[in-house]
Structure formats: C-alpha cells, structure tokens
Structure 1
C-alpha cells in the first residue's frame, strides 16, 4: 500500500510557483485542480479549463489521480481555441478510480499523447462534479524528431530507379536505421483500441524475407500492435512509393501503408501537413474466406479531409488480399498524386490551387501500421479473433532517371 503523499507534496510545490490555471509541462510534471475549478456544463458533465506551456515536443504519458470519490470518467481536450473549431481528444476516455492508496503505475494512464512545444489551451472533461482534488501527471516518453534527411525525387526521366527501400531480408526486429516506433494507446485521433509497442518481436518482426506486423489480444482483452514510421530518419518529396503486402481479414482490423507530412508534431498539425493513403484496408470489407475486398487511396488536406466528409479518394477491388502479395503504389509529382494496384491506375488527386489543397510539395514520412477498432476499423464491430497479421514483402521509393546508370 503506497500513500500518495509524494504526489500531493510535489503538486503543492508546483502550485506555489504557478499562477492559477497556468502550468509548465516538462519531462515530468504534475498539475493539481480543486473543487472550485470545476465548471458545470450540464447535468452530466463538468470541465476544467487551463493553460499549459509544453517545453519539449513529443509523446507523453497522461496519468490522472483523484482521491475523494468513486470512479470518474475523464478525457483531455487540447487546443480548445483552434481556428477550425475541431475537438482534439488526446487521451480518449479514462476511467479513474480513487487512487489515494494505489501504486502510481497501477492507475489508469494513457501513453503516447502528442504535445507540441509551446502554449496549449486545454480542458479536462469529467462526468462528475463531486471531487475535491484531481491531479494530472505528464511524463515524456518519446521526444519528437522530424526527419533531417529529405530525399527529393526527380519525376522527369524515363526510367524508374530505386532510391530507398527496405526488403526485410534481415531476420529479427525491424531496421532502426530506417524505422522509428510510434508508441502508445491514446486512440490516435480515431478511438483505436491498440497499444503500439516499441521493439517487441511479438508485434513486429522480420523473418523469411517479410515483415510481420501482428495485432495481439491478451487474456485481459487488451490489444497490442506496431506502427513504424520513417519520421526522424528519412522523409520524401515526390517519387513512386510502393508497398507490397498481404493484409488481414477479420472485422475490426485496419491495415495501412501511408504518408504523413514531416511537419506533423501534434494534432493541430493535421491535416495542414498533408496525408496520402496508399494502402488502407478495413477487415469488414474483406471476405474472410476468399480474401476479396477493397483498398482505398485518399489524399487528406486542410481543404479536403474525412472529418469534414469531403475527402477525395477512390477504392478498388482486390482478390485474395490476405493470401497473395499485391503492390499498392502511388506516383507523386508537383501537381498530382496517382494511385495504382498491381500497375493498374485507379485514382488521381489533382487539387493544387494553394497550400490548403496541395501541401504535397513538402516532405512526407512513410508509415506502416495495423490498427484495431476505431472510427473506421471498428465501424461494424469486432469479430472474435485473438491475432491478425499484416505482412510486407518490401517498401520502396523510386525516382525517374534519364537512363539506367551501369
């Protein structure tokens, strides 16, 4: 039994050096709220508005503590004053029990919440108002690092020449000279269920010439998976990007191979930074028996994106998605993004009047991941399965050259 006196002491010290509702978040920080900070919204909801200055961009653990009542539901909203009037839920719903006599690592906590350096106007939302003391702990677990190397591909030649790739020929964990692990379970902006792990071979490993990303459910019903990105290593501008892959069936899976702008730091960055979905498949659109289903290609920009319902995309039928490798590709130049399945062109995005339509002359990072549930993956519920495998033969980037160099 561990009394929370250390937290209380530290929080009081922080209060003594902060103005009311103004806080600094560094590598490990506590914030304390009192009953009088609660603002009632309606009969079932309360909120606490506050402002923080984040000193380091990165992914954070958010741990809530409350000492005075039964379980409380909370979630943390970031950038409440954003100009697009969006709601940025950066924790998902946290079920917080009385933590007065609880080991700090046993409390409800969310990993991976993205916070960029600078000032954030936030709200903590609660379903109860009969609380005397609430604490939020923020712990930095992964500093943000944009890609310093940017490869800009020529699109004017006649012959495709490979400039980057991973053939997944070395058994073991993925190559960390090429890939960074995204980490956490904050919902990833889509209310997803999985925790993305770091360097766990049960969720991402290379064997027999392919990368296997495996989503696994443990005996308590919790999901883990992996999300790999070139962020912090290499970003790309223009070129042909290919994912050769098999995707899993099962209602509730959501496999993806895509690109996200190198300018992304936290949720306020998107969709201004741009997103290009090359391979995107949800299990409820795939026949579990024969593997026939759909792939979606989409470009998300500030002008056109799915949370506005006006995204511009296309879909194509794919046979034997789970048993046969298919090549999902885009060709991306200064004016267009074109998508291909096994060489067949089926989608073009050509809105390029301004940066709100076309952020794609700036670098993008490659991401490969397997999500579980969420706003789209879980739109038709979950079938009963304990694991699913997304298998990649390679990821490649090409440019057009005038001739093949011997």
Structure 2
C-alpha cells in the first residue's frame, strides 16, 4: 500500500474586515495657512479678569497668536500692555461654526506650565448671549492648571457650575508638554465622554447632573491660554515666560450613516 508524500496546503486566513468608524469628519482646521482662518475664528480681546480674576490682556497680535509650520501657537507673555502685565490670546468659532453632538478633538502640546498657567480647549452654548452662563452650558474638553501631567474634563450647567461643576482629572504617566497629544470628547444626546489619546477617563450622563441637561443645542469652540485666575492661582518668580499652547489641528466628527 503506497503512502502520499504530499502535504495538505495551509489555508490562508481571510483579511479582517475593518471596523466601520461611527464618525464622519464634518469640519476641521489644520492650521496650514499663513494666518488664522477668519472664516473659522474670531478674537476675544481685552482684559478685566474674564469672570475668573485672570491677569492677562487678550490681543490679536502675532506676538500672542500666529501659525508656524502648520501649528497654531497661542503665546502668553510677561510684558507691559495697556496697563496690564501679561498678554495672551483667546479665539473662538462663535457665530461662525457650531455643532450639536459629535466627536470634537484637537492635537495639542501643552505649555511647560508653572504657577498661574491655564490653557483650555472648551465649548460654550451658541445661545450664551440670550441664555447666559451657565444656562447656555459649558463643555471643557481639556483644561490644565500648571502641572503638565494632569488635565481636566468638566461640564457646567444650571445647578452644577463653577466649584460645583462635574469634573474629573486625567493623570498622565508622561509630561504632556513634551509632545502633542489628542484631547477629545464624544458628545451624544444623553452622554458626554472624555478621552486623552483615545483613553476614556470621564463620562457624564443626562441622569447624573443635579439640574437641567443643557447639552442638546449648538456649541462653539474656544481656545485660550490664561494667566492667573481663581482656580490656578497666580504667577510667581518661579513661573517661566513666554509660555506656548501649540495646536496641530482641531477636527469635528458627527455620527455617520
């Protein structure tokens, strides 16, 4: 009786089917122009504390806000300007771009930090002029108060604003000012989730807030770098200037079909 010398051919595994993303890109700013795109951004200018007893004067000067090599730079400086000792910048998409629900993300390199340094990537309800704060709602996608290993995700609304806001810290194993990282929220009708580099660290649901859920209408984006304030405290002799908040891009996705 003969025996076969051939061996069965091995089956080739099928290529896995990619998982469809639930999100479709609907808007972005890649900061690839020479100057800030005024179809997307307005400047908030001036001083007066901005409701938090901050110390900076916000300007639209290139010293404080500019694009370099495809990166938006917001720079806080220690300098005399119109009787104020610090300058910085704050930009917003108010009246130009706003969204209801979606994934809102930015690739950001934090300032090196120090006492009194307060960068933020956040959102306010488009109806702020009529509803006022906090009834308009506020979603803080990323805030940092001087320690570049810790960021915060927060919501403010009626009955849970200011020191009573619903907030959680993300503590990073690495210095977030050493490189760019992605900060995002995924905002749905009944839930908001916060991420750093796609690591989820905070969730707030409609049935958890001790007041009205005010996150069901259009919101606009704000980027700013504050100096001082009630929450971070104030610069001292150890605080280094200038400080830079660097943003590679901002992207907004919404649920795809």
Does TM, normalized by the shorter one, top 0.5?
yes
In structure 1, the residue matched to 2:167 is: 313
TM-score by length of 2: 0.85
Tell which has more relative contact order, 1 or 2 (C-alpha 8 A, sep 6+). Answer: 2
Indicate conservation of the 8 Å contact 1:241/1:331, yes or no. Answer: yes
**Cα 1:226–1:161, aligned 2, differ >3 Å: closer, same or farther?**
same
Give the number of equivalent residue pairs.
234
Within the alignment, does 1:216 sit opposite 2:71 as a pair? no
Counterparts of 1:237 and 1:227, CA distance in 2: 22
Question: Counterparts in 2 of 1:236-247, with a 5 A limit?
Answer: 236-247=99-110
In structure 2, the residue matched to 1:228 is: 91
**Cα 1:327–1:382, aligned 2, differ >3 Å: closer, same or farther?**
farther
Indicate conservation of the 8 Å contact 1:167/1:394, yes or no. Answer: yes
In structure 2, the residue matched to 1:196 is: 58
Question: Counterparts in 2 of 1:6-405, with a 5 A limit?
Answer: 158-172=21-35, 174-198=36-60, 200-219=61-80, 222-248=85-111, 249-265=113-129, 269-283=132-146, 285-286=147-148, 293-306=149-162, 309-318=163-172, 319-352=174-207, 356-378=211-233, 383-402=238-257
Shift of 1:264: 1.1
TM-score by length of 1: 0.55
Unmatched tracts of structure 1, length 5 or more = 1-156, 287-292
Counterparts of 2:21 and 2:255, CA distance in 1: 6
Indicate conservation of the 8 Å contact 1:239/1:397, yes or no. Answer: yes
Indicate conservation of the 8 Å contact 1:255/1:390, yes or no. Answer: yes
Counterparts of 1:392 and 1:313, CA distance in 2: 23
SS of the residue aligned with 2:144?
Answer: strand
Indicate conservation of the 8 Å contact 1:304/1:357, yes or no. Answer: no
Indicate conservation of the 8 Å contact 2:103/2:184, yes or no. Answer: yes
**Cα 1:235–1:219, aligned 2, differ >3 Å: closer, same or farther?**
closer
Write the deviation string for residues 225-261 of structure 1: whole angstroms up to 9, x where unpaired. Answer: 1100000201110000001101111221100000011
Indicate conservation of the 8 Å contact 1:203/1:214, yes or no. Answer: yes
